[in-house]
């Protein structure tokens, strides 16, 4: 296997960022609804930090702030996914490359990958771990 600039920590970071983006997207929709006055959620359910005075629409400002954070997260996800794709190109076994692609590019969970490949989740996880063990930790 040729040298790839990808680590196990990069993979963990990628999964973490993808999950964070899903949470951020949900919160962003809630903030837009609150800013427009159409939400039916308690405002204390959101963690909103804003430096604007109370007279400003704090939900619109929080949505703008969150959008900026999400753009940074998306840029990092894109960079990490490029590394993953380069790693996938070095994997000779098609099933192994499909598992890595489905997990880190398509964001599928273990059960979905197992279902699509007609394997058990445990078997998919073992194959995954065998591949990832080839990567440096840091």
Q: Is the pLDDT of residue 54 over 90?
A: no
What confidence score (pLDDT) does residue 56 get? 40
Q: Which residues of 7-30 are buried (b: 16+ CB within 10 A; e: fewer)?
A: eeebbeebeebbeebeebeebbeb
Average pLDDT over residues 100-109: 96
pLDDT tens per residue, range 38-48: 766 555 555 55
pLDDT of residue 39: 64
pLDDT classification of 53: cutoffs 50, 70, 90: very low
pLDDT value of residue 23:
94
| % of the chain exceeding 70 in pLDDT | 85
Per-residue pLDDT at 114: 97
Average pLDDT score over residue span 14-29: 94
Helices H / strands E in the chain, number of each: 5, 0
Q: How far is CA 18 from the centre of its chain?
A: 1
Query: Model confidence at 18, in pLDDT bands (50, 70, 90)?
Result: very high
Token pair, residue 26, equals 């949900």
Q: What is the pLDDT of residue 55?
A: 35
Domain boundaries, the chain: 8-132
Structure tokens belonging to residue 96: 């192994």
């Amino acid at each position: 296997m040729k040298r790839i600039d990808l680590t196990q920590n990069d993979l963990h970071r990628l999964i973490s960022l993808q999950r964070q983006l899903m949470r951020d997207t949900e919160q962003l929709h809630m903030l837009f609804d609150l800013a427009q006055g159409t939400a039916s959620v308690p405002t204390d359910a959101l963690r909103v930090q804003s430096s604007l005075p109370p007279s400003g629409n704090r939900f619109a400002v929080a949505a703008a702030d969150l959008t900026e954070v999400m753009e940074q997260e998306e840029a990092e996800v894109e960079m990490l996914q490029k590394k993953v794709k380069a790693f996938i190109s070095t994997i000779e076994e098609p099933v192994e490359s499909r598992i890595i692609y489905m997990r880190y590019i398509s964001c599928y969970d273990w059960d979905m990958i197992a279902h699509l490949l007609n394997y058990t989740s445990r078997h998919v996880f073992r194959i995954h771990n065998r591949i990832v063990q080839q990567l440096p930790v840091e």
